[in-house]
Amino acid sequence: MIAFAPAKINLGLRVIGKRPDGFHQIETVMMEVPFFDIIEIVKSDEFQFVQSGIAVGGDSKDNLCTRAYELLQNEYGIPNVRIHLRKQIPIGAGLGGGSSDAVTVIKMLIDLFQLKLSANEMEEISAELGSDCAFFVRGGLQLATGRGELLTKINVNSIPKYLVLMNPGIHISTKEAYSNVSYSNDTASLKEVLSMPPENWENCLKNDFEEHIFNKHPQIKELKTKLYELGAVYAAMSGSGSSVFGLFNEPLDIPNDLKNQTVYAGPI
């Protein structure tokens, strides 16, 4: 069984404050995009996790794919499997690759062993693995609040149709991203902002992580500036990590000096 685990981008990300449980209260709109990791799962005599493509590092027992399997194995007693993750989504890049991988594994195991779980039950299980995991159960375009696990479908009719996604090869941990973030003081809701024409988003649709991440890693800010110079209707850093995306009304011919940092360019 083979499946594709999609990345996501964030249309605006507000860090509202710190919660009593130690997490941060956020508001963001997450959008699934057609850039994927590839996962294969087959039945096996013993559990195995193997990985190719971009090196993940760390102990395989800590990988979210392994943890997703263990969650279902502990709850439903499913047999051993072999999981092969072909990693293509950069790590620590604000694209949700690890979370998407975990949820894709959950979906695949449910299909493989014919478990009877609803989408709501899958979201509850996924939220145990990470704050943005639940988003990938339904994907699409969703408003996320709380620590990212409270989700509401949202319609935005005016999103430009072409995406350019760039990554400078910098890993930014969640701890680093939150260490010096300034809390949002915006009053308009993201729904209100996204109802405006995309040409107005540049001044209103903000990612609160950008200010201090750009100060520490100016090459990320440079990518955002270049996307606007190339004609992006809107450009921003995605999530808490180093990837930057631009939304365009027409396909873009990527300049040679940016091709090695471009991980996706095409329709949304």
Active site residues: 8, 132
Q: Give the distance, in angstroms, between the CA of residue 97 and the centroid of all CA atoms in the same chain.
A: 6
Strand partners for 83 = 41, 49
3-state secondary structure of 214: helix
Distances (CA, A) of 119 to 63, 75, 137: 23, 17, 7
**E strands of the chain, at which residues?**
2-18, 24-43, 48-53, 81-87, 141-145, 150-153, 162-166, 234-237, 244-248, 262-267
Distance, in Å, from the CA atom of 7 to the CA atom of 163, rounded to the nearest integer, reads: 12
